[in-house]
Amino acid sequence: MFVLTSDLGLGDASAQSAAPPPGPPIPEPIAASDAVVNTPSASSLDWGAAGIGVGAGLGAFAIVLALAGELHRRRIARPHL
């Protein structure tokens, strides 16, 4: 059996501290790093990659032209009935 009382054991409300509850701990500052990262400048161009890209583009264009020419030739060679 439980007995309900108005006294919760908190004591006098004026005797309690007005300080806020403690928050999370303050993190330690991050130390500066002496690491050096070598990155290419914005003006440098990888000519090898550019040449591969241009070659692939020209090859794809040549394939499209060959397919278009073949389709055109087949349409002309067939007589319409």
Tens-digit pLDDT profile for residues 2-32: 555 555 555 555 555 567 778 888 888 888 8
Query: Within 13 Å and on the Cβ side, how many CA atoms surround 53?
Result: 6
- Within a domain: 75: yes
Q: What's the domain count of the chain?
A: 1
What distance in Å separates the CA atoms of residue 54 and residue 48, rounded to the nearest whole number? 10
What pTM did the predictor assign?
0.40
**Domain region containing 62:** 50-81
On whether residue 14 sits in a domain, the answer given is no
In a domain, 25, yes or no: no
Assigned domain for 63 exists: yes
Chain Cα centroid distance, residue 27: 27
> Sign of the CA dihedral 74, 75, 79, 81?
positive
Tell me, yes or no, whether 17 lies in a domain.
Answer: no
Look at residue 26 and tell me if it is in a domain.
no
Could you give the C-alpha distances from 75 to 30, 52, 61, 65, 69, in angstroms and in order?
72, 35, 21, 15, 10
Q: Is residue 74 part of a domain?
A: yes
